[in-house]
Amino acid sequence: MKRGVNAWIYPSSFKFENVLQISRNIGFDGVELNLDEEMLKIDKRGRGEIADLAKSLGLELPSLCTGLFWKYNLASPDANIRRKGIELIKQGCGFAADINASIFLVVPGVATPEISYQDVWKLSKESILEAAKMAEEYGVIIGVENVWNRFLYSPLEFRSFIEEIGHPNVKVYFDVGNAFFLGHPEHWIKHLADQIVCVHIKDFQMSTMQFKPLFQGDISWSRVMKALSEVGYRGFLNVELGPYLGHPLKAAMDSKTALDIMLSMA
């Protein structure tokens, strides 16, 4: 497994070149960038420059993340919002391909009171399947992530959803910290197994109901690492945390040390 970090771990004022250079200096193997509406304005040449810089530093850009699917809900009762979500997947896959990232993270849908659970399932599946054709053209995997969206809250249901879509370019982006609130992450890993293409890691403390830096919460990382090894996962472990208030780099530095310890457990 490889040591990765999401760019959200650095202050938002950091530019791409800062994020990539510092991540390399700290010792990460790869960086997951975050797509927002401002980034979408970057042209193909600019994206190529990001890819070239990463390559020159010996860094991989394994995946591309975004928080925009909370705004453009793939299961919204509003067809216009769903259409924007589908277009976002297509744009995201294009951006990922241009920076040589193989995975684009997608939130499958956000359940709301206005629409039945069955319809959330149906609309989300239809939206992702439509966009999957473009993902295939770009050679990018849509990584459907388990998030706190009141939808797909068990490993059995999550796998069934992916299997119903039944497209080779639609797989699972597994978030360990998100799963811990709902159950035991190792159970999710063992059931999702071959469907997992990327992993987000952060800790979680049940007493405060808060995400925490690695090894400062209640997650049994030895069980998580054992499960990942048993299912043959060999991809990135991308730390997804915010920066500490007192120092812009300390969260990333601590996370790299924690990743080293985790990998010794595998």
3-state secondary structure the chain: CEEEEEHHHCCCCCCHHHHHHHHHHHCCCEEEEEECCCHHHCCHHHHHHHHHHHHHCCCECCEEEECHHHCCCCCCCCHHHHHHHHHHHHHHHHHHHHCCCCEEEECCCCCCCCCCHHHHHHHHHHHHHHHHHHHHHHCCEEEEECCCCCCCCCHHHHHHHHHHHCCCCEEEEEEHHHHHCCCCHHHHHHHHHHHEEEEEECEEECCCCEEECCCCCCCCHHHHHHHHHHCCCCCEEEECCCCCCCCCCHHHHHHHHHHHHHHHHC
Task: Give the CA-trace dihedral at 231, 190, 263, 252, to 10 degrees.
Answer: 130
**pLDDT value of residue 29:** 98
Report all structural domains of the chain as residue ranges with CATH numbers, in order of start: 2-265 (3.20.20.150)
**pLDDT value of residue 266:** 83
- The Cα 74–Cα 65 span in angstroms is 16
Residues 6+ apart with CB under 8 A from 210: 204
Query: pTM, whole model, 2 decimals?
Result: 0.97
Backbone φ, ψ for residue 66 (5° rounding): -160, 150
Note whether 150 and 111 are within 8 A (CB): yes
Give, rounded to a whole angstrom, the gap between the first and last alpha carbons of the chain. 9
- In the numeric block, which tokens belong to residue 220? 């049994």
* Run means of pLDDT, 10 residues per run, the chain, 266 residues: 98 96 98 96 97 98 98 97 98 98 97 97 98 98 98 98 98 98 97 98 97 98 98 98 97 98 94
Cα–Cα nearest to 230, from 75, 1, 16, 73: 1
